[in-house]
Amino acid sequence: MEDIPKETQRFRVRGHLWLESEKDRFLGPGRIELMEKIKEHGSISKAASAMGMSYKKAWNLVLSMNSQVEKPLVLTQTGGSRGGGAVVTPEGEHYIEAYKALVVRFQEFLANETRHLQG
Amino acid sequence: MEDIPKETQRFRVRGHLWLESEKDRFLGPGRIELMEKIKEHGSISKAASAMGMSYKKAWNLVLSMNSQVEKPLVLTQTGGSRGGGAVVTPEGEHYIEAYKALVVRFQEFLANETRHLQG
DNA sequence: TAGCGTTATATATCGAGATATATAACGGGT
DNA sequence: ACCCGTTATATATCTCGATATATAACGCTA
């Protein structure tokens, strides 16, 4: 590594990280952010528009996440005094925390590898 | 982490990794594979078709890589007895090796995190 | 029973990226 | 002078995912 030219200084190591099951993605940055926005706004539609995402896409993500676990990460309710809404369950919150901790370790890995590269 | 339900067993941590400069991607899995195919076949067009990629895309990747370093990673030649061709320079080979070593460490990270998640 | 905001779902439209097609240039061989 | 396979480049076409649009259902309110 020590004979990589100086210009290597300009490069950074970057990456993406996610959890997946047999064939489907389970959790990634977008799904985590969506759950956080649902926590904040109390509905899928408001969460979606808050992050510039179509309702349909957000709905599909919730469907995908919930379909891969026994206890759903997001509960939805149609109708009612406010028309309905969505909440993140304790299970959902747990995954959010676990994912964030994972990302912290990943960022350390990337920073370390970038340092290594630029040696 | 210890109170994540059993079904977490089914999830793996996966990821992508690449090198980038200020605004452009520099090296990722596709570009590395392309350089390896160029080494193998001696031309961009053969390398591209060998990995089911259009010549145009392969050419753009070579252009992008070479534009980000002083000494090009891939040298091309037009015309001549065989019509032309392309070769990977020692600098290119060096980056291939550095990237592969990085990927090995990344795979270890992912395996470790998957184990941690399922622990 | 009518109104409301939302979830839930299907269908249609659009646009970006990929692919296909075309053409020029290159330079050695014959 | 012409042929060859490749690099180099522009343009046209296509495809698929994303987005937009539309509609139904839900359940509380009043």
Domains and CATH numbers, chain B: 23-118 (1.10.10.10)
Which residue in A35, A16, A30, A100 sits closest to B1, CA to CA? A100
Contact flag, residue A62 CB and nucleic strand C, below 7 A: yes
Neighbours of B117 (CB within 10 A): 18
Q: Which residue positions in chain A have pLDDT lower than 70? A: 1-9
CA dist., res. B118 & res. B76, Å (int): 48
pLDDT value of position A29: 92
Chain A residue with minimum CA distance to B98: A1
pLDDT in 10s for each residue of chain B, 119 residues: 545 555 566 899 999 999 998 878 999 999 999 999 999 999 999 999 888 888 999 999 999 999 999 999 999 999 888 889 999 999 999 999 999 999 999 999 999 999 999 87
- Look at residue A4 in the predicted model and tell me its pLDDT: 56
**Hey, are the CB atoms on A17 and B14 less than 8 Å from each other?**
yes
Closest chain A C-alpha to B102 CA, distance in angstroms: 8
Residues of chain A found within 8 Å of residue B13, distances taken between Cβ atoms? 17-19, 102
pLDDT score at B104? 98
Taking the CA of residue A20 and the nearest CA in chain B, the distance in Å comes to 5
